[in-house]
Amino acid sequence: MTFIPHRATRREMLLGSGALFAWAYMPKLAMAEGRDPRFLTIVLRGALDGLATVAPVGDPAWVGLRGNDGLRLDGENAALPLDATFALNPAMPNFHRLYKAGQASVVHAVASPYRERSHFDGQDVLESGLTRPGASETGWLNRALNGMARGERVAGRDVFAIGPITPLVARGPAKVLSYTPPRLQPASNDTISRLLDLYQHTDPALAQALQERSALAAIAKGGDMKGGGPKLTGPYAGVRMYFAEAAGAAAKFMARPDGPRVGALAFDGWDTHAQEGAAHGRLSALLGALDGAVAAIETGMGPAWKDTAVAIVTEFGRTARINGTEGTDHGTATVALLAGGALKGGRVIADWPGVSEAALYQNRDLKPTTDLRAVLKGILRDHLRADETVLGRDVFPGSEKVRPLGGLVSA
């Protein structure tokens, strides 16, 4: 198969439901150490509210910032404590269990080099690994593997993909084969309505596709979520099943002795402008679905979980304050979630800037203090044994002064 460079169009970014990229070789240096590492990247498209995912409950300005919309350590939907400052969204008990077991970590106040607020440009920078959008047709993960010394071949195919669209992070000189799950990720009614209004006259074909997806999502209707954690019905049940099935399939492929060692998935739907619902609404449901996906990866990996690192990242964060429609708008810093048996976990890693009025970035966002490229470089260097010079020069060009964040993995 011949590789044809291809940048994701807006249509593909909107309709794509995720992909798994797979490398057919063991990393040579890791193999020489007697290790067989796996690495899975999950991209959350739409911008994750990091403050609603991991809340700074110990920050004295937190209650004043979000009031009753902010997570707390008490009440019916109490957050799950991580340390003296931070607590995890209650929709993520599996991640919390892994954190307590030293197999999950959080990097807070993190951001890519991108400082504007366009989803498409932010996703491009996140997945390309460059400092500006539209500058590359290849992704940082593909380039990292392309520059890595190849050890023993472990699979009969170079690359395979789960989902109809391979994300930019996985595109590059390696070949890609596709597998599409029987279940497609449903879009929310709010997203469908806004996109239909936007594209009805400018792109009738895309509008028709969105209408078809809306009809599929409407097949299963149900009641509301009530206490005791998110009870997903209607479209959210489909989201939870899709996340778990896609992530579980990725894990089962990667766990095989002759399977791939590196992959990437993309999950859509994180653009929570209205009715975000950190404790018992849309975001809670999405985080519950993500938590189920993490559990599916742990289960699917089986014994290979001990050699696994998973990085969950997003293009940027959301505003520190809740807007007039009980949602959040496009922001800057957010969280990166790390999980896996290979992690040196049980930590929230943060050069915490605070959330007081004076501390906010541009008087609206959580201030970024950790470069996301440092996090990804740390995992690629210490887990897969990628060369640090290559990481700064070829994988994340322009990041030579951004040192890899060490100590993320137990190796």
Domain map of the chain by residue range? 10-185+233-395
pLDDT tens-digit profile of 275-285? 999 998 899 99
- Record: fold of 10-185+233-395: Alkaline Phosphatase, subunit A (3.40.720)
Q: Which residues of 242-264 are buried (b: 16+ CB within 10 A; e: fewer)?
A: bbbbbbbbbbbbbbeeebbbbbb
Q: Which pair of structure tokens corresponds to residue 175?
A: 């070949």
**Could you give phi then psi for residue 308, rounded to 5 degrees?**
-105, 140
Q: Considering the chain, what is the average pLDDT of its residues?
A: 83
Rounded to whole angstroms, how far apart are CA atoms 92 and 78?
Answer: 12
pLDDT digits (tens, 9 = 90+) for 62-103: 999 999 999 999 988 899 999 999 999 999 999 999 999 999
- Cα gap 223→207, rounded to integer Å: 28
pLDDT at 75: 85
Non-local CB neighbours of 227 within 8 Å, separated by 6+ positions = 76, 77, 280
d(CA 241, CA 314): 21
For the four alpha carbons of 22, 23, 25 and 31, in that order, the dihedral sign comes to negative
Residue 371 has pLDDT above 50, yes or no: yes
| Interatomic CA distance for residues 328 and 331, integer angstroms | 8
Give the number of other CB atoms < 10 A from CB of residue 172. Answer: 23
Whether the Cβ atoms of residue 384 and residue 148 lie closer than 8 Å to each other: yes
Give the pTM.
0.84
Q: Which amino acid is at 359?
A: A
Q: How confident is the model at residue 30 (pLDDT cuts 50, 70, 90)?
A: confident
Name which of 82-91, 165-174, 298-307 the model is least confident about.
165-174
Tell me the two tokens of residue 214.
């809306």
